[in-house]
Structure 1
Amino acid sequence: MTEDAKITDRRINHETGSTEQGPSVMEQAHADHQAQRGAFQECFMPHVCFSTFVLSLSSSALVHLGEVPDPDNGKTSINISLAKHTIDILVMLEEKTKGNLDLEESKLLRDMLFELRMHFVRKSS
């Protein structure tokens, strides 16, 4: 049995209006990815949906940017051209799916692209 991954923006508590910082979208995505990876080892395959696809591509980009270790060998390395290619794939998905995503999917893709672009700019400067 698998569950859909859900990313929650904890940076703003909408009930209290507090702007207390919580984990970033990328930190939360990485934690969710690690949890899914553990579930993957225990079961067949994670549920396929747009969000898990975006999270998978985002995780790959983070590995290429050296932000998280490669799950295969536990080492970090930077490959800017592969990171850019993966970000470009996400941009293409954003353009091709415009108007066809639900609110959560659209927000996830937009937030992931923002975070990845910021990491990319820092690493390529």
Structure 2
Amino acid sequence: MNRTLTHGLLATGALAVLLFAPGPASASPPGYERCPEGHFCLFSEYDGNGDIATFRFGSPHLAAQGFDDRAMSYANHTDSLWCTYGDYNYSKEQLHAAQEPRTADSLGELHSFVSSVRKGPC
């Protein structure tokens, strides 16, 4: 093989490696920022970490999202009040807290006791 052809093949191979080499994986935003705009989110760990469940209207039974009694923190990226309940079907007797619009925090003492959520009023 002549020298020009060999250099051409090497250059083409190098270009192919550059064009098709996998790049760095795009990282998800950290913590509470993973909650999309216009959604209320629950997280299975503090500070918006762990598994995430997102809502636009609520859920009468968080088991449907695999989140019954698992929430440790929340993010409210809506302009509405959201209510968290310790029982299914938004039981008024089990109203835990109203989460203010545009807030994100730990659920504090209520963590792991949330079974339904909905957009307010509570």
TM-score after normalising by structure 1: 0.25
TM-score after normalising by structure 2: 0.25
Bigger Cα Rg: 2
